[in-house]
């Protein structure tokens, strides 16, 4: 079957989705995917980031599809023509979804362990706006402890539900899922049980944002200060491939993750023993440095591109110490509580 | 006096019970259908031009013909009784007072589709109706209208009532199917459509209560007879749940084609406006359809009479029209605050969004918050444009139509009542007690927001 995406044609097997076809072509036409994960069944269709315009349904039925389609779950038809990067409608829709994803996101990248390898950062870098139109209070959740290995930050979650599929498909007993509905929907274990399963750590790898992070790596380092190496070991856990990426700081292994490809998806899932317990260099056979995209912040560890000066839109002269500005930039007086006054 | 197809027997004492229903000609359509082939029954429904009464108005016969019969998998008919649209209460009335009509319709329709296991999915808040239906089904089993080899025809049908747990989203057909399977009620991605892969991956048809309840009459009196009622493509009768500032709110059965003016003002139906105050706005089909301002209610933008039909109500598109929807007919007089009404609808959609896809999950909450701010006197001038922008970004980008349903009323309210939004933003003092427009209808304060060039 022949599919044309942004004017580039590719031959695909029946049953291929538009997103998979776009990834076969590669380049800028690949729609961003926040919830779709090729290694997990039943993912996709939720985040609406990968919307594309189908300008010609198929050779047999050339009518265009009236709505934008989620490319990760729409199958290709012979002779289909798709506009991704080329379509203004698609660009608008992606901007809209990015804005929606960000309005309730805490934007705490400076203290988030995912920063630097976060899909939401990539998405907002490409489609986001520098200012916000959301002046309301952001929605927040009560913190929940889900065990000593995985840190859950529900406020950062974009509800892609990949982690639910990990639990469903990799572990033998799912103890977490989506609770509540609407914008109060949350990933939770319901009874605050610890998620304790040999493959539960893969939730961290599949999480596109910093909602699920490695507790053993928490606040240890920014990801771009680590040197990533591909490594493997003979793992005896059934189902574990033993092929990982080690994130090193000097001779210290600070973090172990699955090996991710250019779309942030792991090549194969690893067990919790490899991920959390093997932190000695002697445990691993190191294959060599991990390759990243040329522009990746992890690869560069510096900024080679010309960066534009950051302009902070504030009133002129506000920092000159005039009396009328003093109130605007100082904190409102908060009376100290009695027991704090010492 | 219009013909009463659904509610004709509603006033017979004891019609709730099997004996009385049977004595009054009940279950005759099943007997007649068994003498026909299933395809002939489907053909009758197709000829009748009956359109889905749940809101979208998709032809029922067409839907039935899409069901995948080739796969050989068991087929199911599911009746959507999860009526949760604000302003709509017709299905409850029907099921509460004449439950056997729905069961008769379910048997006839299941026979036409070749379904041997059918369900009625009822919303959890209708617990007493659920019990009524359970009782009626028990009676029908006892009388041999359900179960194995119904009335010696060789056709088997099991019918179950399933109670939802209180979610508007479960009225969406794929979410309903998920919920019926015992999962979280999230809409599925389409395709595959339920007609191919529905309940337990089997071909399934989901129909509204009213659609199914119309089938017995169609089978008994032929589709051609049914098609004679109504106008053009809007055939038959429709239940309208009339509420709001009218003298006689309630459920009315109308022949499609009655004019809106007659429906509101005639004594047979709504009986005119309460306290004889002027009409301000109308939501003709449940909370998700666009609101109509006074000058577009009785006449379309083209100057024709506005009729109670699918076509006439949507005449002019969304710019000057609306939709018949599910028939939740809400009438507003001049004391109504449209901003508050819009916020109320928006709050509902925010609460009922399932949280699966981004635009609806985040957008409905945002809409609600902005509207809440405007209603409470904290609005900004740019908020009106912001609302329009948010709603346009939700519309069409979601998995299921809930996103559209949440965004249309907002867009329509701003389109037709923009001045009221401006009034809220510019005069927060006047709206702070929430009694604005009650003593001082908007017409009296309209001059305040007039644009004046000095």
* Burial environment of residue A75 by CB neighbours within 10 A (0 to 12, 13 to 18, 19 or more): middle
Interchain contact, A49 vs B358, CB within 8 Å: yes
Question: Quick one: pLDDT at residue B192?
Answer: 86
Residue A337 clears pLDDT 70, i.e. is over it: no
With CA atoms as reference, the chain A residue closest to B391 would be A96
Average pLDDT over residues B381-397: 93
Whole-number pLDDT of residue B253: 93
Contact across the interface for A47 and B373, Cβ inside 8 Å: no
Is A169:A199 a contact under the CB 8 Å cutoff?
no
CATH code, domain with A49: 3.10.20.740
Beta-sheet strands, E only, within B341-449: none
Cβ-Cβ contacts under 8 Å between A and B: the total is 93
> Tens digits of per-residue pLDDT, B41-71?
999 999 999 999 988 889 999 999 998 888 8
User: Phi/psi class of residue A173: alpha, beta or left (left: φ > 0; alpha: ψ in -120 to 50)?
Assistant: beta
B197: helix, strand or coil: coil
- Cβ atoms of A161 and A213 within 8 Å: the answer is no
Confidence of residue A341 (pLDDT cuts 50, 70, 90): very low
Give the one of B189, B353, B393 whose C-beta lies nearest to A182's C-beta: B353
Whether residue B1 is predicted with pLDDT greater than 80 in this model: the reply is: no
What are the C-alpha distances in Å from A123 to residues A31, A82, A209, A300?
Answer: 10, 21, 11, 19
Choose, out of B172, B354, B356, B384, the residue to mutate when testing the contact with A (most A CBs < 10 Å): B356
Region B148-160: mean pLDDT is: 91
Q: End of a domain among A218, A235, A270? A: A218
Instruction: Say whether A49 and B352 touch across the interface (CB within 8 A).
Output: no
Q: Provide the domain limits for residue A59.
A: 2-98
Q: Give the residue from B397, B402, B403 with the most A CB atoms within 10 Å of its CB, the best one to mutate.
A: B397
Pick B354's closest partner by Cβ from A67, A103, A181.
A181
Check if B317 contacts A (Cβ < 8 Å): no
Same domain? For A235 and A146 the reply is no
pLDDT at residue B230 is higher than 50:
yes
Please check whether residue B197 touches A, CB under 8 A.
no
Q: Average pLDDT, stretch B36-45?
A: 92
Answer whether residue A334 is part of any domain.
no
For position B296, what pLDDT does the model report? 92
**Contacts A67 to B, Cβ<8 Å:** 396-397
Spell out the domains of chain B, with CATH numbers in brackets.
Answer: 18-228 (3.40.50.11540), 231-333 (3.10.20.600), 338-449 (1.20.1440.230)
**Do A181 and A135 belong to one domain?**
yes
DSSP A248-305: EETTEEEEEEEPB-TTS-BSS---HIIIII--SGGG-EEEEEPP--TT-HHHHSS--S
CB atoms within 10 A of CB A227: 15
Distance from CA of B434 to the nearest CA of A (A): 22
Asked whether residue A279 is domain-assigned, the answer is yes
Chosen from A96, A101, A141, A188 to mutate, greatest number of chain B CBs within 10 A:
A96
Count the neighbouring beta carbons within 10 Å of the beta carbon of residue A190: 10
Average of per-residue pLDDT across B235-257: 93
Tokens of B84: 């949760």
Q: Which of A173, A200, A218 is the last residue of a domain?
A: A218
Cα A264 to chain centroid distance, Å, stands at: 8
Burial class (CB in 10 A: 0-12, 13-18, 19+), B182: exposed
Chain A residues with CB under 8 Å of B365 CB are 104, 139, 182-183
Is the CB of B355 inside 8 Å of chain A's CB atoms? yes
Region A186-205: mean pLDDT is 83
For A37, other C-beta atoms within 10 Å of its C-beta total 24
Higher pLDDT, A302 or A132: A132
Report the residue count for chain B.
454
Total count of residues recorded for chain A = 342
* Sheet with A8-11, edge to edge strand ranges: A8-11, A2-5, A80-83, A51-56, A69-70
Q: Which residue of A has its CA nearest to B358?
A: A47
Residue B46 distance to chain A (closest CA, Å)? 25
Please indicate, yes or no, whether residues A214 and A109 belong to a single structural domain of this protein.
yes
Residue A304 has pLDDT above 60, yes or no: no
Nearest to B86 by CA among B161, B171, B21, B149: B171
Query: Does residue A212 share a domain with residue A228?
Result: no
pLDDT of res. B433: 81
What pLDDT shows up at residue A224?
82
Q: List, edge to edge, every strand of the sheet that includes B75-81.
A: B158-163, B115-122, B75-81, B204-208
Q: Given A51, A82, A98, which residue is the final one in a domain? A: A98
Strands B115-122 and B75-81, by their bridges, are parallel
Pair type for strands A285-289 and B250-255: unpaired
Give the closest of B353, B364, B397 to A93, CB-based: B397
Residues A188 and A231 in one domain: no
Q: Which pLDDT score is estimated for A192?
A: 65
Q: What is the mean pLDDT of chain A?
A: 85
Asked whether the predicted pLDDT for residue A285 surpasses 50, the reply is yes
What pLDDT, on a 0 to 100 scale, did the predictor assign at position A58? Answer: 87
Q: Note whether residue A323 is domain-resident.
A: no
Phi-psi region of B68 (alpha: psi -120 to 50; beta: other; left: phi over 0): beta
What span, in angstroms and rounded, lies between the C-alpha atoms of A136 and A321? 30
Query: B175 vs chain A: nearest CA distance in angstroms?
Result: 13
Mean pLDDT, residues A83-100: 92
| pLDDT (tens digit per residue) in B169-221 | 999 999 999 999 999 999 998 888 998 889 999 999 999 999 999 999 999 99
| C-alpha to C-alpha distance for B284 and B272, rounded to whole angstroms | 15
Do A234 and A270 sit in the same domain of this protein?
yes
Among chain B residues, CA nearest to A69 = B397
B419: left (phi over 0), alpha (psi -120 to 50) or beta: alpha
pLDDT at A164 over 50: yes
Query: Cβ B369–A100 below 8 Å, yes or no?
Result: no
Asked whether residue A145 falls in the same domain as residue A226, the answer is no
Chain A residue numbers touching B389 (CB-CB < 8 A): 133
> Residue B357 and residue A47: Cβ atoms within 8 Å?
yes
Chosen from A45, A161, A182 to mutate, greatest number of chain B CBs within 10 A:
A182
Show residues of chain B in contact with A70, CB under 8 Å.
189, 399
Cβ within 8 Å, pair A97-B399? no
Mean pLDDT across chain B:
91
Q: Do B365 and A178 touch (CB under 8 A)?
A: no
Q: By a Cβ cutoff of 8 Å, what residues of chain A touch chain B?
A: 44-49, 51, 67-68, 70, 73, 92-93, 96-97, 99-101, 103-104, 133-134, 136, 139, 158-159, 161, 177-178, 180-185
Contacts of B43 (CB under 8 A, 6+ apart): B61, B223
Q: Could you tell me if A158 and A257 lie in one domain?
A: no
Round to whole Å and give the CA distance between B125 and B167: 10
Residues A241 and A300 in one domain: yes
Q: Inter-chain contact A158–B358, Cβ cutoff 8 Å?
A: yes
- Contact criterion met (CB < 8 Å) for A67 and B364: no
The set of residues, in sequence order, having a beta carbon less than 8 Å from that of A260 and lying 6+ positions away, is A205, A245, A266, A267
Do A182 and B350 count as a contact with CB atoms less than 8 A apart? yes
Please name the member of B184, B351, B357 whose beta carbon is closest to the beta carbon of A46: B357
Residue A126 and residue A211 in one domain:
yes
Q: Of A44, A101, A182, which is closest to B358 when you measure between CB atoms?
A: A101
CB of B391 within 8 Å of a chain A CB? The answer is: no
Residue in chain A closest to B360 (alpha carbons) equals A182
Instruction: Decide if B165 touches A, using CB distance below 8 A.
Output: no
Same-domain pairing of A178 and A124: yes
Percent pLDDT > 90 in chain A is 40
Contact A73 B189 (CB under 8 A): yes
State the average pLDDT over residues A128-136: 91
pLDDT score for A335: 55
What digits encode the pLDDT tens for the residues A15-44? 899 999 999 998 888 999 999 999 998 888
If we measure between CA atoms, which residue out of B109, B107, B105, B110 comes closest to residue B94? B105
Residues 6+ apart with CB under 8 A from B32: B219, B220
Tell if the pTM clears 0.80, that is, is over it. Answer: yes
- A interface mutation test: which of B348, B354, B359, B386 has the most A CBs within 10 A? B359
Number of Cβ within 10 Å of residue A68's Cβ equals 22
**Chain B residue with the nearest C-alpha to that of A51:** B397
**Cα-flanking dihedrals φ and ψ of residue B286, to 5°?**
95, 160
* B358 vs A48, A133, A177: nearest CB: A48
Task: Give the ipTM of the model, two decimals please.
Answer: 0.89
CB contact under 8 A, B358 and A180: no
How many domains is chain A built from? 3
Phi, psi torsion values for A27, nearest 5 degrees: 80, -155
3-class SS shares of chain A: helix, strand, coil, % to 5: 25, 20, 55
Of the pLDDT bands very low, low, confident and very high (cuts 50, 70, 90), residue B368 is: very high
State whether residue B359 sits within 8 Å of chain A by CB.
yes
**Residue B130: both structure tokens together:** 């659920």
Q: Residue A137: closest CA among chain B residues belongs to which residue?
A: B369
The answer to whether the CB atoms of A136 and B189 lie below 8 A apart is no
DSSP B40: H
Task: Determine, for residues B361 and A51 on separate chains, whether the beta-carbon distance falls below 8 Å.
Answer: no
In this prediction, residue A333 has a pLDDT band, given cuts at 50, 70 and 90, of low
Does any domain span residue A319? no
- Domain co-membership, A120 together with A146: yes
């Amino acid at each position: 079957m022949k599919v044309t995406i942004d004017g580039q044609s590719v031959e695909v097997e029946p049953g291929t989705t538009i997103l998979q076809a776009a990834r076969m072509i590669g380049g800028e036409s690949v729609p961003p995917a926040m919830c779709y994960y090729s290694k997990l069944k039943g993912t996709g269709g939720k985040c609406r980031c990968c919307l594309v315009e189908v300008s010609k349904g198929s050779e047999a039925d050339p009518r265009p599809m009236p709505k934008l389609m989620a490319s990760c779950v729409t199958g290709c038809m012979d002779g289909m023509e798709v506009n991704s990067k080329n379509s203004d409608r698609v660009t608008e829709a992606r901007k809209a979804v990015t804005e929606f994803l960000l309005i309730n996101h805490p934007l705490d990248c400076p203290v988030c362990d995912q920063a630097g390898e976060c899909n939401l950062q990539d998405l907002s870098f490409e489609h986001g706006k520098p200012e916000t139109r959301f002046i309301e209070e952001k929605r927040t959740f009560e913190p929940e402890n889900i065990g000593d290995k995985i840190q859950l930050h529900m406020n950062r979650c974009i509800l892609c539900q990949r982690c639910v599929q990990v639990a469903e498909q990799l572990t033998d007993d799912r103890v977490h899922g989506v609770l509540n509905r609407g914008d109060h929907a949350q990933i939770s274990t319901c009874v605050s049980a610890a998620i304790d399963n040999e493959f539960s750590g893969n939730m961290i790898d599949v999480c596109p944002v910093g909602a699920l992070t490695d507790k053993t790596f928490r606040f240890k380092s920014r990801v771009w200060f680590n040197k990533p190496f591909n490594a493997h070991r003979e793992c005896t856990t059934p189902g574990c491939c033993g092929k990982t990426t080690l994130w090193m700081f000097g001779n210290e292994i600070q973090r172990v993750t699955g090996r991710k490809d250019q779309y942030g998806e792991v090549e194969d899932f690893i067990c919790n023993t490899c991920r959390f317990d093997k932190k000695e260099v002697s445990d691993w056979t190191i294959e060599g440095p991990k390759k990243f995209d040329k522009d990746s912040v992890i690869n560069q560890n510096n900024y080679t591109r010309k960066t534009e000066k950051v302009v902070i839109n504030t009133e002129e002269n506000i920092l000159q110490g005039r009396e009328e500005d003093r109130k605007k930039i100082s904190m409102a007086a908060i009376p100290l509580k009695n027991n704090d006054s010492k | 006096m219009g013909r009463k197809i659904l509610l004709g027997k509603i006033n017979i004492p004891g019609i709730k019970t099997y004996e009385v229903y049977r004595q009054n000609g009940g279950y005759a359509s099943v007997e007649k259908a068994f003498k026909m082939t299933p395809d002939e029954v489907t053909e009758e429904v197709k000829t009748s031009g009956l359109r889905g009464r749940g809101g979208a108005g998709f032809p029922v016969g067409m839907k039935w013909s899409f069901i995948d019969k080739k796969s050989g998998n068991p087929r199911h008919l599911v009746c959507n009784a999860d009526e949760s649209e604000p302003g709509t209460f017709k299905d409850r009335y029907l099921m509460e007072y004449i439950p056997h009509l729905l069961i008769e319709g379910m048997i006839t329709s299941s026979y036409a589709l070749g379904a041997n296991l059918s369900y009625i999915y009822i919303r959890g808040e209708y617990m007493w109706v659920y019990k009524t239906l359970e009782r009626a089904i028990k009676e029908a089993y006892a009388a041999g209208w359900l179960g194995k080899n119904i009335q010696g025809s060789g056709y088997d049908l099991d019918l179950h009532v399933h109670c939802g747990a209180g979610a508007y989203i479960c009225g969406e057909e794929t979410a309903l199917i998920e919920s019926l399977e015992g999962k979280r009620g999230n809409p599925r991605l389409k395709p595959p459509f339920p007609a191919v892969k529905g309940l337990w991956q089997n071909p399934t048809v989901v129909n509204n209560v009213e659609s199914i309840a119309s089938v017995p009459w169609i089978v008994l009196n032929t589709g051609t007879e049914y098609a004679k009622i109504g106008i053009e493509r809007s055939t038959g009768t429709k239940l309208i749940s009339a509420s709001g500032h009218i003298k006689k709110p309630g459920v009315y059965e109308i022949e499609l084609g009655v004019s809106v003016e007659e429906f509101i003002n005639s004594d047979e139906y709504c009986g005119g406006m309460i306290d004889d105050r002027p009409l301000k706005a109308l939501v003709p089909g449940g909370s998700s359809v666009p609101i109509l301002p006074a000058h577009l209610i009785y006449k379309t933008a083209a100057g024709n009479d506005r009729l109670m039909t699918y076509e006439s109500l949507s005449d002019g598109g969304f710019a000057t029209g609306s939709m018949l929807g599910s028939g939740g007919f809400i009438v507003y007089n001049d004391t109504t605050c449209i901003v508050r009404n819009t916020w109320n609808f928006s709050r509902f959609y925010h609460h009922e969004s399932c949280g699966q896809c981004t635009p609806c999950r985040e957008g409905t909450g945002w809409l609600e918050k902005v509207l809440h701010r405007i209603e409470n006197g904290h609005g900004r001038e740019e908020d009106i444009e912001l609302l329009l922008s948010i709603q346009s970004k939700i519309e069409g980008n979601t998995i299921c139509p809930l996103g559209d349903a949440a965004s249309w009323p907002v867009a329509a309210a701003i389109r037709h009542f923009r001045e009221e939004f401006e009034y809220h933003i510019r005069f927060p003092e006047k709206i702070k007690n929430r009694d604005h427009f009650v003593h001082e209808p908007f017409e009296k304060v309209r001059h305040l927001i007039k644009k004046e060039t000095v």
